[in-house]
Amino acid sequence: MTAVHLDAWYVTGIVEGEGSFCVSFNHRSRLNVGIETRPSFSITLSERDRALIELLQDYFKCGAIRYSRADRTYKFEVRSVEEIVTRVVPQFRRYPLRGSKRNDFELFALICALIQQRRHLDPNGLREIIELAFQMNPSGKRRLAKDELLRVLEKVKV
Amino acid sequence: MTAVHLDAWYVTGIVEGEGSFCVSFNHRSRLNVGIETRPSFSITLSERDRALIELLQDYFKCGAIRYSRADRTYKFEVRSVEEIVTRVVPQFRRYPLRGSKRNDFELFALICALIQQRRHLDPNGLREIIELAFQMNPSGKRRLAKDELLRVLEKVKV
């Protein structure tokens, strides 16, 4: 097979359908705020589309690919905030999403900028991040409810 | 909201994820071959993306939009063979799909060309169309099995 070039607008189009901008939270007692913030950009495709997932990884020049045996899908995922800010966010600034996913992207980009400023490590910054994250369209079930997260923050000594 | 222009590659990208090329068959005793052949090109999006579905209809300049209350989705669908051949097929010739859906598209385009030549109205042509259609990736359950369709054709007086 010859090398196929993915057009930038094609990439935005496929992300409109199959992409996900997600910010998740986990308990982490070793952190002062007690909560870890994890942003993730991903694209999930059927196992038939392994070659295409690899082309998408080549396009973004970062991230990892994982196979889900349960779903029979390949997921391309970028978790590094540095890579999200330098490689993922600029794509959707230049070639914007046209549907409701754009709202998720804007919140996601804002949250990642706050994380870069290390705001997720102080209770007030993290509270803001949690409020923004819960405005995003829920993709799947959240492990921790918003109230539960905010209750953890109330206990933090500032 | 200002008018948004959908880029041609964006449209191919969203179809890679959310589009469907489908050929279905139904019993029709009033037809000589006993079977009706129905091609359909569609794009299905969440009800949040009604505006985007309308932009996609504007882009293709044909088809209809339907709401599914059960799935809470909007579907843009083109069923007219004439419109498929003149408006849908050229899009994916100029801006080709990059994933496994391309195989479905190629079979779909071939079947629609055969329908335009009225091959679906004679048993041999229809047999060929059925064989091609069953090489497509099944989207949802087929109402009629391939063997059942071919058995109907065996009974047709040529």
pLDDT digits (tens, 9 = 90+) for A23-76: 999 998 888 899 999 999 999 999 999 999 999 999 999 999 999 999 999 999
- Min Cα separation B127/chain A (Å): 27
Is the entire prediction scored with pTM above 0.80? yes
Q: How many residues does chain B have?
A: 158
Residue B60 pLDDT grade (very low, low, confident, very high; cuts 50, 70, 90): very high
B89-105 pLDDT, tens digit each: 999 999 999 999 999 99
Residue contacts between A and B (CB atoms, under 8 Å): 82
Residue B29 pLDDT grade (very low, low, confident, very high; cuts 50, 70, 90): confident
Query: Domain extents for chain A?
Result: 8-154
Six token digits for residue B123: 């048993």
Going along B28-104, which residue ranges are E strands?
A: 35-46, 64-68, 73-78
Quick one: CA dihedral A73, B21, B44, B16, positive or negative? Answer: positive
Give A46's contacts in chain B (Cβ within 8 Å).
100
Q: Which residue of A has its CA nearest to B54?
A: A99
Q: Tokens 């899009």 sit at which residue?
A: B91
CA distances, B32 to each of A60, B37, B43, B120, B125 (Å): 54, 13, 32, 10, 13
- What is the arithmetic mean of pLDDT over A84-97? 98
B33-59 pLDDT, tens digit each: 899 999 999 999 999 999 999 999 999
Question: For B72-104, b where at least 16 C-beta lie within 10 A, e where not — what string?
Answer: ebbbbbbebbebbbebbbebbeebebbbbbbeb
Q: Which residue of A has its CA nearest to B52?
A: A99
B111-119: list long-range contacts, CB under 8 Å, 24+ apart: B111/B23, B111/B37, B111/B39, B112/B39, B112/B81, B112/B84, B112/B85, B113/B85, B115/B37, B115/B39, B115/B81, B116/B81, B116/B82, B116/B85
B50 in contact with A, Cβ within 8 Å: no
pLDDT surpassing 80 at residue B64: yes
Q: What is the ipTM of this complex?
A: 0.90
User: Quick check: B15 and A13 CB within 8 A?
Assistant: yes
Q: Which of A78, A73, A108 is nearest to A93 (CA)?
A: A108
CA distance linking residue B80 with residue A25, whole number of Å: 49
B13 in contact with A, Cβ within 8 Å: yes
Going along chain B, which residue ranges are E strands?
A: 19-27, 35-46, 64-68, 73-78
Tell me what the pLDDT averaged over chain A comes to.
93
Q: Which residue of B has its CA nearest to A48?
A: B100
Residue B137 pLDDT grade (very low, low, confident, very high; cuts 50, 70, 90): confident
Q: Tokens 């589009």 sit at which residue?
A: B19
Q: How do beta strands B73-78 and A35-46 pair? A: unpaired
- Min Cα separation A46/chain B (Å): 9
User: Quick check: A51 and B17 CB within 8 A?
Assistant: no
**Higher confidence at residue A93 or residue A140?**
A93
Q: Which numeric CATH code is attached to B8-154?
A: 3.10.28.10
